[in-house]
Amino acid sequence: MAETTVDLRLKDTFKTFLQDLPTLGTFKACSPVSNEIPPEPMVKCKDSKSPLFANKMPNDVLNVEIIADHQKLNSGEESRPGVIVYEENGKKTVVGTNLKPRGNSRASCFPKPLKAEFESEEQMKSLGGRSDSTPESLYKKLVTLREKTKFNKAVSQDTNIFDKLGDDIKIVNPCEIKGERNWLGAEDLKEQEEKLLREFYTYKILEELGTSTLKTRLAHITYKNPDGTISSSGYSFFREPESKVASRCGQIKGKGDKDNSATSEFQTKLIFAFIGGIDYNINIDHNIAFMHSEAGTTSYIPYDFDTSALVTPYYTSGNNQEAKEYMVLELEKMLSRAPKEIAKIQTQQFLGKKEEILLVIKNSLLNKSAKEDVLEKINLQFGVLEKFIKN
């Protein structure tokens, strides 16, 4: 019997679990589900101070060009020198980087998602020299330098858009992929970008909650090869480092080796249930990052929403209608098992941002059918939350 898409997805999930077993150790016991836990609000976080994210509207698109040997990066090389070129307020800036392909399931995508480790600004200034230096000439000088001396340390930026983000940034790209594993990407560029935008706006609606979710910035990125040819071009987005989220939330990034916060645990489960996400594990760092408070408790940063029902409905279900039914049932089930005090107060916080969340999607760059689909699913989930509050 031929394997179906669902068979392949389950096989991949089980294979990943088996690969992780040697490093899991003993699972930390989760907080008991008890109605005696005092009510607490969601984890509150400050806004990002980085110019990449600060005071930016969801549809503020950054135009970017990345010059590197993309053929080698997409063919298995571990890293290559490259330059990120962006323009804001009429000024063009060139940022030197060491580019590294990344991702687990998305490692088979084209173009691959990237991690950009920053060269020092002093180093790039020394390569510039003449006032007529172009991004292409700076790239060539950087390649020559790295042929002689290997890149060995990423450096935080101070005078460009990546200030206050640490020494690297991750880039999420659309995924061109062929064959059965089509829940990851698509063969058609328009469909690839539409899925990318769905994931981007999932982050943006969660940002409205002001809690421990990653900041993102939409970009139109042209990937240019050294010979001037275009490898690919389209929407992508930059993703905030988890350590910076922890800092904004008054915590530090760490491992899941402390007593877990019942508040943050419920919040994380509520977020994934609201968007129809199942691809996470709160006991290990699978699409979850851990952060620690001064009191020594562990809170969570959820991310990677590409397989959620808002983005890829046929990852969780056979078709889109089944995905809608699945989302509702899973959210109802999660709420029925939750500590009522915590569930009530956090559900009210979600409902308090209903109009802002809906407005993000209404004003989004999604096409008409995608916009209608996402809005319908979100309204269904808000209906579940409203029913829960009334009961």
Per-residue tokens: 229: 């040819």
State the pLDDT at residue 110.
86
State the pLDDT at residue 13.
46
Strand partners, 279: none
> Shortest CA distance to 307 belongs to which of 5, 3, 2, 75?
5
How confident is the model over 302-324, as pLDDT tens digits?
999 998 999 988 787 778 889 99
* C-beta separation of 300 from 288 below 8 A: yes
323, containing H or E segment: helix 320-337
State the pLDDT at residue 183.
65
CA atoms within 13 A on the CB side of 100: 14
How confident is the model over 121-139, as pLDDT tens digits?
999 999 985 555 899 999 9
How confident is the model over 22-46, as pLDDT tens digits?
433 333 334 444 444 454 567 889 9
> Shortest CA distance to 343 belongs to which of 309, 312, 384, 315?
384
State the pLDDT at residue 32.
42
Residue carrying structure tokens 């609606």: 205
Strand order through the sheet with 297-302? 252-254, 288-292, 297-302, 259-260
State the pLDDT at residue 41.
65
State the pLDDT at residue 352.
96
State the pLDDT at residue 374.
97
User: Distance between CA atoms of 354 and 180, rounded to whole angstroms?
Assistant: 36
* pTM of the shown model: 0.87
Along the chain (391 residues), what's the average pLDDT of each consecutive run of 10 residues?
44 44 37 46 88 93 97 90 93 95 82 95 84 86 96 95 97 79 69 93 95 96 96 96 94 80 91 94 89 88 93 82 93 93 92 97 97 97 97 85
